[in-house]
Structure 1
Amino acid sequence: MAKCGMVIDQRRCTGCAACSIACKNENNVPDGIYWSHYIMETKGEFPNIIQNYISTLCNHCEDAPCVTACPVNPKAMYKQDNGITMHDEETCIGCRACETACPYGVIYYNDEEPFGKWRSGDGAELTEKVGGNVIPYYNPDRAASYAGIRRGNKVEKCTFCDHRVANGEEPYCVDACPSNARTFGDLDDSSSEVSKLLANNDSLVLQPEENTKPQVYYINKFDVKE
């Protein structure tokens, strides 16, 4: 069984946010929720200022605190055999324990029914014209393994586009990156591109002190001169 992971090359990343836009379209992600997001770091003093852009997503931790924190049985937040951290909307009770436990801030909670602007007024009229789906740009492929549109009072997060991975495809953020900054593959396969990148480059993970064993790695970090 493959062990899914991702390597993000920070020198290739241009901060264009194509990954975030692609993720929203592929996974029908509501406004205000970001399965693929970023951290902006600004260091130094004018005029010697350096700004770093760090792409973020669920780290699919090997020792996932969100899974440990989930109080229901069976777990609403759980690990697949391939290492992907998944979420079951049907068993989720909306307690947000996983969100609190996540040290990376990449789990989001739907406070209300998503896509409300497409359910009333001019939005509802447009929705009806394009076929009556909840949102005009709805991607039905997402619903192959997870609710195409998640309900209110539930959490949600990146799933490495598990529905695409199951079909031998890469997460859509990887396909959409114009500078090839993201590489996805099997961390247990020494011949995979992700394994080669990690073998040939110094890498880091976010918040290593948390000891969650993230499966998203960063290489070629920009040197910051104080």
Structure 2
Amino acid sequence: MAKYGMVINLEKCAGCAACSIACKNENNVPDGIFWSHYITETVGEFPNVTYNYISTLCNHCDDAPCVNACPLNPKAMYKSDNGITMHNHEACIGCRACEKACPYSVISFNETEPFGEWRSGDAAELTKKVGGDIIPYSNPDREITYAGIRSAKKVEKCTFCDHRVANGEKPYCVDSCPANARTFGDLDDPNSEISKLLSNNKATVLLPNANTKPNVYYINKFDVKE
């Protein structure tokens, strides 16, 4: 069984946010929520100023605090055999324990019914015409393994596009990156591209002192800060 992870090459990353846009399109992510996001920071004093753009997403940690914090049995937030940290939307009780436990702030909570603008007023008629309760432009492929559109009072997060991975494809953020800054693959395969990148480069992770054993790594032009 593969163990999946991702390497983000910050030297190649152009900060275009194509990954964030692609993720929203692929996973029907509602307004105000980002499964794929970023951190921006300005470091130094004029004229020696550096602008950093750091892409972020669920780190799919081996020792995932979100899984440990979930009070359910079986857990709504859980680890798949392939290393992906998954979420059972139907089982989730919306207690937000996982969200509070995540040190990376990459788990979001739907306070209200997502895409409410498509369910009221003139837009409601359009919604009915294109698919009943399904919003226009939604991606039905997302529903293969997970709720296509999550409901109110539930959490949601990046799943490495598990529906695509199950079909032998890469996460959509990887395929959509115009700079090829993201590499996805099997960490347990020494011959995989991602394993070779990690062998040949000094890799860092976000918040190393959190001791979560994340499976998203950064190479090049990245100074670890706590």
TM range (shorter): over 0.9
Match of 2:79 in 1: 79
The answer to whether the Cα contact below 8 Å between 1:115 and 1:134 also exists between their aligned partners in 2 is: no
- Tell me, which stretches of 5 or more residues in structure 2 are unaligned? none
TM-score under structure 1 length normalisation: 0.96
Measured after TM superposition, the shift of residue 125 of structure 1 is 2.6
Alpha-carbon distance, 1:223 to partner: 7.0
Q: Distance in 2 between matches of 1:217 and 1:27?
A: 22
Q: Which runs of 5+ in 1 are unaligned?
A: none
Structure 2 Cα separation of the partners of residues 221 and 198 of structure 1:
15
Q: Which residue of 1 aligns with 2:202?
A: 202
Equivalence map 1:163-202=2 (5 Å)? 163-202=163-202
Q: TM-score of the superposition, structure 2-length normalised?
A: 0.96
Q: How does 1:39-58 map to 2 (within 5 A)?
A: 39-58=39-58
Alpha carbons 1:119, 1:134 under 8 Å: kept: no
The aligned counterpart of 2:94 is: 94
1:144-189 CA-to-partner distances (Å, cap 9, x unmatched) read: 0100000100000000000000010000000000000000000000
Give the letter for the 2:62 counterpart: E
What SS does structure 2 have at the residue aligned with 1:51? strand
Percent identical pairs in the alignment equals 77
Matched residue SS, 2:38: strand
Cα displacement (A) at 1:134 = 2.4
SS at match of 1:164: helix
Cα offset, 1:222, TM superposition: 4.7
Q: d(CA) in 1 for partners of 2:155 and 2:84? A: 16
Instruction: Return the letter of the residue paired with 1:191.
Output: N
Matches within 5 A, 1:55-70: 55-70=55-70
Secondary structure of the residue aligned to 2:217 is strand
Partner Cα distance (2:223, 2:134) in 1: 45
Aligned match of 1:15: 15
Q: Take 1:21 and 1:128, find their aligned partners in 2: how far apart are those partners?
A: 25
